[in-house]
Amino acid sequence: MIKRIWYNLRMFCSKNEEAFLDFGQRLGGLLQAGDTLVLTGELGAGKTTFTKGIAKGLGIHQMIKSPTYTIVRQYEGRLPLYHLDIYRIGDDPDSIDLDAFLYGQGVTVIEWGDLLGEGVLNDYLEIEITPQGQERQIRLIGHGPRSQALAKEVLNG
């Protein structure tokens, strides 16, 4: 069983969305091919907004849109970004070819990835976004050695 390590980070994002995007950009700048991020939080928490920051860190200048209805959007930058929203596929990960994204040469960001269930993903960084009044609390949970190192690096950088 993989030991999970988590870190809390509280940000004033609604008043200063730029700080929220900057944090995502800092994380995007640290990502390597094969990294997987799982974004969790209620509807409207800021998952797609955070992905915009990640994309900036990957050198992507395209407009980032929610993949809610398309399931997957792909963007090209320093590394390819595979942006998935699996809310509509529920707990049936076999309805799309996740392996093509998880084991490709890019970075995979999965919104609602907590719906996949245990054992589908290996080493991934879970980013839990929780609105709290005019703030957003971000909780980083490393599920494996690479994601734990990434969480430490982004928080200490």
- For the stretch 50-71, pLDDT in tens is 999 999 999 999 888 776 656 6
Residues paired with 36 in a beta bridge: 108
> Whose CA is closest to 10, among 43, 19, 148, 125?
19
Q: Which residues contact 149 (CB under 8 A, 6 or more apart)?
A: 142
**144 DSSP assignment:** S
The percentage of the chain sitting over the pLDDT mark of 70, rounded to a whole number, equals 71
pLDDT of residue 59: 97
Angstrom distance (rounded) from CA 157 to CA 140: 15
pLDDT at 16 over 70: no
